Structure 1
Amino acid sequence: MISAQSSSVFDRRMHIAATFLLCTIPAFLLFARGVSDGALVLIGLLFLVRSAVYRDWYWVREVDIAILLMIWLILNLLVSPFAEFTGKSFGRSASWIRFVIFYAAVTRWILADEKAVRWVCKAFMITAAVAVADAFYQFFVGYSLLGGQLMTGRLTGPLDRPNIGIYLAKTGFATITLACALCISTSKQNIFRISLATFPFLLAIIFLSGERTASVLTLLAVGSGLIGLFFVGGKSRHAAAAIAALVVGGIGALLILSDRILARVMALGNVVSDYSNSIYGELTSLGWRLFAEHPITGTGMGNFGLVCPSYEAQGLISECHPHPHNFYVEWLSDTGLLGTLPWLAFVGILVWAGLRHFRNGDRQSLVAGLYFGTLVLSLFPLAATQSAFSNWPAIVAWNSIAVAVAALRLSEKHQVKSV
């Protein structure tokens, strides 16, 4: 029979291991995507083992997690069996459970501990700082010091393709949200101050990256954070106005000084003004067409790129891509109403939690604003995005969403204690 002391030591060691793995995920995403997926899976396994050992399964009854588990069952029992290519769909739907367990582990276990929160904040900031430094080096010298990639129109930094902007945006906003919640919860401001000091450099790389979606979504995220700061009241309103002026002025100067960035903005304007005739418009249109033809179950997870060639042969689309480049259109085309409606319910729960947090006022409003900024980067419905289901984009998204939700829960816990 395991003694109480031995049980406590076992639990603590498992928590340390899971915290370490979470700390490494942003670094693994830069250099070893398969390893980052392995770390995510190991976190889920540790959480399941802990739940089994202590018979602690309360988390499966939590509304947000229960909905995600229901989605997983729907994907496997009702969507994949009727997919156009069942093997591909089952491969995606069966393995999707790892994101659900990871989300549960981060929000209900790992980052429920303030010491773990401090370590994760530090690790994420160090990783982001390394990525920012390498991206600056690539911008001025022409190639990545860590990855060796040449700069060809867009920054890659240590990554092997131009995703450094969205990577830094999602990782950075999640980190500063968590650091802000930690500051409120413990009144220790050092980590939050450091994150604030380094954040302008992170923003600079996002806008210098040439990634149009990352830049626009980051502007929306910054705006959300400033709204939260404004609602804090007092001198914070003046700070919000000053920061907004600096951001606008910085972007204006960048557009004047950089022909490359100006060209990217002009290209974005051309796409938006003639969206229906752009490749993004064609992909969205095909996604809606697939949904209209399979409204209940969709074509199957990951099937968009497999069924696309037949429509290309009919002249309905000029070129095929693995996904429709929109999070929600991909849910509709791949999973139909059965998968999309509960997913929208999950998103609604996240949004409502943030709106409810605004009511707490004071510094809690800043946490809520940063929280919404993090959600915008992954869940804004009008953005051209990467796939919702493939490894790298999904890990980046779920990592940032889980950390943001954990930050909100940490802030709410402090509010309850204060009351």
Structure 2
Amino acid sequence: MIFNSVNEKIFFYTFPVYLFSLIPFFLITGPFLSDLAISLVALIFLAYCYKRNDYSYFKNRYFYIFLIFWIYLVFNSLFNNLNFDSLKISIFYFRYGVFVIAIITLLGFNDGFVKYFFYCIFICFVVLIFDGFYQYFFGENILGWKSSVRVSSFFGEEKILGSYLSRLWPIFFGLSIFYLKKKDKLFFLFILVFIFSEALIFLSGDRSAFFNINLSAIFVILLSQKLFKLRLITLCSSIVLLLIISFINPTAKERVFDQTIKQMNLQNSNQDDYKNIYIFSKEHTHHYITAYRMYLDNKIFGVGVKNFRKFCKNEKYSVSELSCASHPHNTYVQVLSEIGITGFIFLISILFYFCFNILKHLILRFKGKSYFSDFEICLLSVIAIYLWPFIPTGNIFNNWLNIALILNLPFLFWAKKLANS
């Protein structure tokens, strides 16, 4: 990047850097500020490209694939059960791809700001841990917000504390590799933060988040070179802490384990429904069946972006009064039902590409080599969370979830560049 003045550097570099670094804070407030931040970064970067008449940053095969997918989404929304919400999501989906390219470019110019992002996550985790445990033990957080059965801290009624921690945990853990040494005075403080944040995910009662953080842990333990012991220690320590807390107060344990078994009807506790075993719950199972019926009727293009909520009311697809929701709560099922087999090809191709490279890394590990650095493994564990098919998930077109994912992508390119330099 080239700047002709101090003002240009402030506008095109410093301001976007601050916006990016503050996204962990913005995500706590909800989707609005975080979405505003990535949109501004994308617009500012496009303005820079226009001013310099230089669009070479977008000459990237990954961006080309994203561009094809984006065009398909817009096409699908325009010609497949057109509605305003669907078209709005599809058109503005473009900002995610531009944002990733913008941050990659900023990292290439000067990666010094990564430490600001790192310490922002650190502060967010420390505050959430303190507030979350305070709410767990006293029934309200430091702002006086009452908790029901689940700990939610500053997220209030959204109940996404566990999702936030589990999705940002791997990048936080990975970045600590760069900024902490075992002899560093802050090292043990960070270890405590890692342990307590894992425990807080459990206490939040978010079963998907609890599964995700453990999936990430197994991924890092199996595939990293130097993080095996550290990740195993944090995982085991958090499990011991959870056992102690569960013994004192079994509420979270009852939700994560006992309620899950009950909802899946594995113990056949429901006398009126003793023959059926459900996928996660009766509600989830009916969502999946409803979505599958939509797919069978609309195999190529689906029913349209974010249209599950509209078509689930149709008697042709409905299973019961439990069939309807804003989305079918599984990424693969949602893609099939809303954007059809055409959209599914993009998703399954990413899955195969991911698995191929992980297998390549695993083969090299047996030879004492590696394809990915430990930092990349941490970031890829987040991708594994999003690609894992057998778990209830959020809406794939949800701004908050998409932002939590794409934060990792620029760092993947940055980490690869560091590994090759």
Higher RCO structure, 1 or 2 (CA under 8 Å, sep 6+): 1
Amino acid aligned to 1:270: K
Residues 1:275 and 2:273 are matched in the alignment = no
Structure 1's unaligned 5+ residue stretches are: none
Amino acid aligned to 2:154: P
Residues 1:261 and 2:255 are matched in the alignment = no
Give the match's secondary structure for 1:119: helix
Residues 1:396 and 2:400 are matched in the alignment = no
Residues 1:211 and 2:237 are matched in the alignment = no
Q: Which among 62, 65, 69 is matched to residue 63 of structure 2? A: 65
Distance of 2:317 and 2:335 partners within structure 1: 24
User: More deviation in 53-62 or 166-175?
Assistant: 53-62
2:384 is matched with 376
Distance of 2:102 and 2:131 partners within structure 1: 31
Alpha carbons of structure 1 residues 313 and 169: separation in structure 2 relative to 1, 3 Å: closer
Residues 1:154 and 2:150 are matched in the alignment = yes
Render the CA deviation track for 1:216-258: whole Å, top value 9, x for unaligned. Answer: 11111111122234x33xxx65555544543443444444443
Alignment of 1:121-132 (within 5 A): 121-132=118-129
Distance of 1:188 and 1:259 partners within structure 2: 37
**TM-score normalised to the size of structure 2?**
0.84
Say if 2:201 and 2:210, in contact at 8 Å, map to a contact too: yes
Render the CA deviation track for 1:196-222: whole Å, top value 9, x for unaligned. Answer: 442112112111111111111111111
Give the match's secondary structure for 2:152: coil
Shift of 1:320: 1.4
Alpha carbons of structure 1 residues 210 and 237: separation in structure 2 relative to 1, 3 Å: closer
Structure 2's unaligned 5+ residue stretches are: 267-276
Alpha carbons of structure 1 residues 189 and 406: separation in structure 2 relative to 1, 3 Å: farther
Alpha carbons of structure 1 residues 249 and 369: separation in structure 2 relative to 1, 3 Å: farther
Shift of 1:87: 2.8
Say if 1:33 and 1:392, in contact at 8 Å, map to a contact too: yes
Alignment of 1:358-369 (within 5 A): 359=364, 361=369, 365-369=373-377
More helix by share: 1
2:13 is matched with 15
Distance of 1:412 and 1:188 partners within structure 2: 27
Shift of 1:316: 4.3
Distance of 1:313 and 1:289 partners within structure 2: 6
Identity of aligned residues (%): 21
2:222 is matched with 227
User: More deviation in 359-368 or 161-170?
Assistant: 359-368
CA RMSD across the alignment: 3.1
Residues 1:34 and 2:2 are matched in the alignment = no
Distance of 2:182 and 2:420 partners within structure 1: 15
Residues 1:286 and 2:286 are matched in the alignment = no
Shift of 1:60: 2.6
Alpha carbons of structure 1 residues 107 and 192: separation in structure 2 relative to 1, 3 Å: farther
User: More deviation in 95-104 or 328-337?
Assistant: 95-104
Amino acid aligned to 2:22: T
Q: Which among 309, 325, 330 is matched to residue 326 of structure 1? A: 330
**TM-score normalised to the size of structure 1?**
0.85
Q: Which among 238, 246, 252 is matched to residue 237 of structure 2? A: 246
Say if 1:312 and 1:318, in contact at 8 Å, map to a contact too: no
Say if 1:154 and 1:162, in contact at 8 Å, map to a contact too: yes
Shift of 1:373: 2.2
1:103 is matched with 100
User: More deviation in 331-340 or 250-259?
Assistant: 250-259
Give the match's secondary structure for 1:158: helix
Say if 2:115 and 2:179, in contact at 8 Å, map to a contact too: no
Alpha carbons of structure 1 residues 194 and 99: separation in structure 2 relative to 1, 3 Å: farther
Alpha carbons of structure 1 residues 255 and 61: separation in structure 2 relative to 1, 3 Å: same
Q: Which among 94, 97, 107 is matched to residue 91 of structure 2? A: 94
Distance of 2:297 and 2:54 partners within structure 1: 43
1:6 is matched with 4
Shift of 1:10: 2.1
2:130 is matched with 133
Say if 2:107 and 2:414, in contact at 8 Å, map to a contact too: no
Amino acid aligned to 1:6: N
Distance of 1:338 and 1:154 partners within structure 2: 39
